[in-house]
Amino acid sequence: MVKLLLAGTGLIGHRHMQHILEHPDLELVGVIDPLITEEKIEGVKTYHSLNEVNKVAEGIILATPTDTHADLTIQSLEMGMHVLVEKPVAATLLEADKMINASEKTGLSILVGHHRRHHPLVNETINILKSGKIGRPVAASLMWLMRKQDEYFDVEWRKGIDGGPIKQNLIHDVDTLRAFFGEIISVVGSGTNIVRNAKRHENGGVVLGFNTGMVATVAFSDATPTPWGFEAGTGESPYIPKTNQSSMFIACTNGGLEFPTLKLWSGASNWNEKPIMEHQNISEAAPLIRQLEHFSDVIRGKAAPIVDAKSARETLAVILQIEQATMPVAKFE
């Protein structure tokens, strides 16, 4: 059994907790949250702060607000634990650099919670693109268009920029876009906050240029209840009903691929010919559970982190550029 601690029992921490408790190879040895009132949760000892913990585990999962990630990660590494920290890796690039240094100094790993990398549909998309079956990617169009319930923003840290759809949601898309297409070298965009008028991003569009010459457009909003977005399309989250709709269209030199429905279009050499569509059938799996299993392999020295702090820092750098490019200037003072 791999012994784990969990810090943060909010929206995502609660999901980690249930998955650890149900997993035959993982043991939850403690839960940390300043808001905990019970002495034990499901038989597990509770703490109000990492400073109170005397029984060090092999690994710790940090599902705490983004501005706590750097300090808690460095403290955990120095206590001798490997770390699975939620995304974004940190609030700033400087904080991410300090985390990378601490990992190198202690020789312990940081895995960052870009859990979509563990989704079978993401893995299959990477396989199809790598196979060259439909040629080389030239352009793609992605949508993340969901409406979050208003109460989501009642939590203090979500009221400002950290609670907006770029750091919360698009960050996952940027990580998968990097896995599909390579490094992002240019960002232009435009944004507004016309529905809730809050001091954070809400609606926007960006054009991302990749080092391969490929270009992707992204439309995002957390104020519109459409069926188009990763979680809705895949049914990945227990809280978001599955719509089975594509939310990304990938255009390659010999055809196209819809994601996450994996409709593969090929067979036409130009616009006078009709492409044919094949459906790829992929078995389902819960990426958060797979990510915990990967973390267990990292702890046991069987694998290197699929998304380490250096890779997550690259994604954060792009996210910060998108925040700048789509800043709704008029309403943000």
Ligand X SMILES: NC(=O)c1ccc[n+]([C@@H]2O[C@H](COP(=O)([O-])OP(=O)(O)OC[C@H]3O[C@@H](n4cnc5c(N)ncnc54)[C@H](O)[C@@H]3O)[C@@H](O)[C@H]2O)c1
Footprint of ligand X (CB under 6 A) = 7-13, 32-35, 63-66, 68, 72, 86-87, 113, 115, 155, 168
CB atoms within 10 A of CB 306: 19
Q: Which of 267, 112, 104, 117 has the alpha carbon at shortest distance from 180?
A: 117
Alpha-carbon span 323 to 316, nearest angstrom:
10
Which residue lies nearer to ligand X by CB, 68 or 123? 68
Which residue lies nearer to ligand X by CB, 14 or 23? 14
Q: Residue 67 CB, nearest distance to ligand X (Å)?
A: 9
Q: Residue 297 CB, nearest distance to ligand X (Å)?
A: 19
Q: Residue 63 CB, nearest distance to ligand X (Å)?
A: 5
Alpha-carbon span 52 to 60, nearest angstrom:
14
Which residue lies nearer to ligand X by CB, 161 or 215? 161
Environment class of residue 146 by beta-carbon count within 10 Å: exposed (0-12), middle (13-18) or buried (19+)? Answer: buried
Q: Residue 262 CB, nearest distance to ligand X (Å)?
A: 21
Name 240's Cβ contacts closer than 8 Å, sequence gap at least 6.
146, 231, 232
Q: Radius of gyration (Cα) for the chain, nearest Å?
A: 20
Query: Tell me, what amino acid is at 98?
Result: K
Q: Read off the tokens for 208.
A: 């991302």
Which residue lies nearer to ligand X by CB, 155 or 277? 155
Q: Residue 19 CB, nearest distance to ligand X (Å)?
A: 12
Q: Residue 153 CB, nearest distance to ligand X (Å)?
A: 11
Which residue lies nearer to ligand X by CB, 64 or 106? 64
65 DSSP assignment: -
Which residue lies nearer to ligand X by CB, 210 or 228? 228
Q: Read off the tokens for 306.
A: 């699929």
**DSSP assignment of 287-327:** HHHHHHHHHHHHHTTS---SSBHHHHHHHHHHHHHHHHHT-
Which residue lies nearer to ligand X by CB, 30 or 65? 65
Q: Residue 312 CB, nearest distance to ligand X (Å)?
A: 11
Q: Residue 148 CB, nearest distance to ligand X (Å)?
A: 11
| Number of alpha carbons in the 13 Å side-chain half-sphere of residue 80 | 7
Alpha-carbon span 100 to 88, nearest angstrom:
14
Alpha-carbon span 184 to 317, nearest angstrom:
10
Helical pair 69-78 and 93-106, crossing angle rounded to 10 deg:
10
Q: Residue 299 CB, nearest distance to ligand X (Å)?
A: 19
Which residue lies nearer to ligand X by CB, 166 or 187? 166
Which residue lies nearer to ligand X by CB, 208 or 312? 312
Residue nearest to ligand X (CB): 10
Q: Read off the tokens for 94.
A: 């400087």
Alpha-carbon span 85 to 311, nearest angstrom:
13
* Residues 169/305, Cβ–Cβ less than 8 Å: no
